[in-house]
Amino acid sequence: MTNPPLIKIIMVEDDPDWVLAIAEFLKRETDMVLVGSASNPEEAVALAETTDFDVALLDIQLSPKHIDGIYTALEIARLRPQAKLIMLTSLQDEETIKKAFTAGAVGYLLKSNYMELPYAIRNAFHHAYPMEVLLKEFARLKEEEQLQQLTPAEKEIVSLIGDGYTRSQMEQKLYKSESTLKNQINRLLKKLGVKSGKEAVDKIKRKGL
């Protein structure tokens, strides 16, 4: 009989006592190990870039009154698309939960229910595919929601900006004058509530988060 694969876990949490408590709690599980932790978004991104892991446990509030854990989840999902993200938090309002799944989480567990954590980790690691299919479609709809307010011409401009085109290159490709292109870019920036083309692309990729 072969042993189950070892599930490697990282934790993103600003409370060091909670990290220690969860680390001790998971030690009794023979098929999982905590391989690293981070206390803020910057550390979390660096950890995701340098550490081999399967599952990330993230608190939503890494600083008081901010849901920066959700944006951290978004960055980790971008860096490590195969990793499974579980939000382990005390927040349970509907809007926050929706944002967490928009960011790429496949699980959401309240800290008060931490006894369920081993099951949640195994389920995310072994059986996340059906949830991922739903979340992929949800993410597509959220991205389309950002584009819905743009005209076809403005969508094409955003696509070219995302592909790295300069304004002069777009003028040549789209056969537009400098003033026409400038006006269209300014209109789409206003619609998306951003200040630059890069911000526009980032907002769409972040699905409005």
Dihedral sign (CA 197, 208, 38, 105): negative
| Phi–psi pair at 25, nearest 5 degrees | -65, -40
Q: In tens digits, what is the pLDDT along the chain, a chain of 209 residues?
A: 567 789 999 999 999 999 999 999 999 999 999 999 999 999 999 999 999 999 999 999 998 878 899 999 999 998 999 999 999 999 989 889 988 988 889 999 999 999 999 999 999 999 877 777 777 777 777 778 878 888 989 989 988 998 899 999 998 999 989 899 999 999 989 988 889 988 888 888 777 77
Q: Identify the pLDDT of residue 174.
A: 92
Contact 89, 73 (CB under 8 A): no
SS3 per residue for the chain: CCCCCCEEEEEECCCHHHHHHHHHHHCCCCCEEEEEEECCHHHHHHHHHHCCCCEEEECCCCECCECHHHHHHHHHHHHCCCCEEEEEECCCCHHHHHHHHHCCCCEEEEHHHHHHHHHHHHHHHHHCHHHHHHHHHHHHHHHHHHHCCCCHHHHHHHHHHHCCCCHHHHHHHHCCCHHHHHHHHHHHHHHHCCCCHHHHHHHHHCCCC
Predicted local confidence at residue 1, as pLDDT: 55
Q: Give the other-Cβ count within 10 Å of 108's Cβ.
A: 18
CB atoms within 10 A of CB 151: 12
Q: What is the pTM of this model?
A: 0.75
Q: Which domains does the chain have, with CATH numbers?
A: 7-132 (3.40.50.2300), 149-205 (1.10.10.10)
What are the pLDDT digits (tens) for 134-170? 777 777 777 788 788 889 899 899 889 988 999 999 9
Give residue 2's pLDDT. 65
pLDDT at 23: 94
